[in-house]
Amino acid sequence: MTTSLPIGMFDSGVGGLTVLKALRHRLPCEDILYLGDTARLPYGTKSPETVSRYAVQASGKLIERGVKLLVIACNTATSVALGALREAYPGIPVIGVVQPGAQASCRASVSGNIAVIATESTIRGNAYQKAIHAIRPEARVVGKPCPLFVSLAEEGWLDGELVEGVAARYLSPLFETAEQADRPDCLVLGCTHFPLLAGAIRNVIGPDIAIVDSAETTSLAVEAELAARGLLRTEPGCGGTRFLTTDDVPRFARTGSLFLGMNIAPEDVELVDL
């Protein structure tokens, strides 16, 4: 395996581009191949068996093109399919977003009271709860599914009265009605779509709650893994990014540009079939 191979990443759609953005900033020399499985999103409402099958298929498409490391840029897929992917592709290092996010939340929380918002599947699988308790056994973790956040982010509805109203409906029971001693002091954005709504979420929960986004900590984990394996690319020059999607190239380019914070031209996106 050579350092010149790209990093492979996949998500159910464009949410994982928040992770790609962090990787692009931290590892500018690396090439990245990103696949958004938009034909089958959202993953968060699917059964664990279905998500695992989709994840293995998406990863296989990346691996057949040649990648040196695989990033599961999706909390739902990480929570249910990490083991399946490592078993299916034992020669490729695989990094998910849950463990880095759990580590960051344990550092950020003073009280050990941590709230996690994510898709239904991620919350149902207790992925963050298990990862956090492995680090801080005494932590108290409460999970809340927030499925509408995915749709809002995909539509580009990121702020305003409607978005804050949805956020308040989800989050007020966690932060306003809880007893002071039980109130979380840290909120984990356990879905890669959710960072785009961070402003609206902040307006609802106030300034004193730490908000953890796993994108930055995932980029650190990728850098460490590549360095440990001697796969870190250090030659001068900027790495490139290629995009694959399973449906609606213009929509992927339009919505993806919002998530990535830079323009994605439709001609730079390849339509693939899984």
Q: Which domain holds residue 196?
A: 98-214
**Cα–Cα dist 219/128, whole Å:** 18
Q: Which residues sit in the known binding site for substrate?
A: 11-12, 43-44, 75-76, 192-193
Q: Is residue 2 part of a domain?
A: no
Catalytic positions: 74, 191
Q: Are residues 209 and 119 in the same domain?
A: yes
The answer to whether the beta carbons of residues 250 and 222 sit under 8 Å apart is no
Check whether residue 118 and residue 157 sit in a common domain: yes
Q: What is the pTM of this model?
A: 0.90
**Of the candidates 197, 214, 231, which is a domain's last residue?**
214
Give the pLDDT score at 177. 63
Q: What is the pLDDT of residues 40-92, one digit of tens each?
A: 988 888 999 999 999 999 999 999 999 999 999 999 999 999 999 999 999 99
What percent of the chain lies above the pLDDT cut of 90? 81
Tell which residue, 271, 191, 244, 194, has the closest CA to residue 36.
244
CATH number, domain containing residue 139: 3.40.50.1860
pLDDT in tens, 102-119: 999 999 999 999 999 998
